[in-house]
């Protein structure tokens, strides 16, 4: 299995939040601090209980080093 296959969701061809976090070498806590959201929000996204709200602005996400 190559690295691209490892980052794909088993339900679709999209990478999961958790695999993106791991690939970026960060943690849920660090990401929550960088995005100014709670760790619970990140955990809910990882576990597919909730999705990020599009009506909330995270500001310039390019400033989040792990996703640049």
pLDDT at 64: 57
pLDDT per residue rounded down to tens, the chain (68 residues): 444 444 455 566 888 999 999 999 999 999 999 988 999 999 999 999 998 877 765 655 555 556 55
Q: Is residue 7 part of a domain?
A: no
Q: Is residue 68 part of a domain?
A: yes
Residue 55, pLDDT score: 73
pTM: 0.63
- Identify the domain containing residue 26 by its residue range: 16-50+63-68
Q: What is the pLDDT of residue 46?
A: 95
**34: in domain:** yes
Cβ atoms 21, 47 nearer than 8 A: no
Nearest-angstrom CA–CA distance, 8 and 31: 20
21 within domain boundaries: yes
Domain total in the chain: 1
> Looking at residue 7, what is its pLDDT?
45
In a domain, 22, yes or no: yes
Is position 3 within any domain?
Answer: no
Q: Is residue 25 part of a domain?
A: yes
């Amino acid at each position: 299995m190559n690295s691209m296959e490892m980052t794909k969701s088993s339900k679709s061809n999209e990478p999961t939040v958790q695999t993106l976090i791991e690939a970026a070498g960060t943690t849920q806590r660090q990401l929550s601090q960088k995005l100014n959201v709670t760790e619970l929000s990140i955990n809910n996204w990882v576990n597919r209980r909730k999705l990020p709200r599009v009506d909330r602005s995270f500001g310039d996400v390019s400033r989040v080093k792990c996703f640049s």
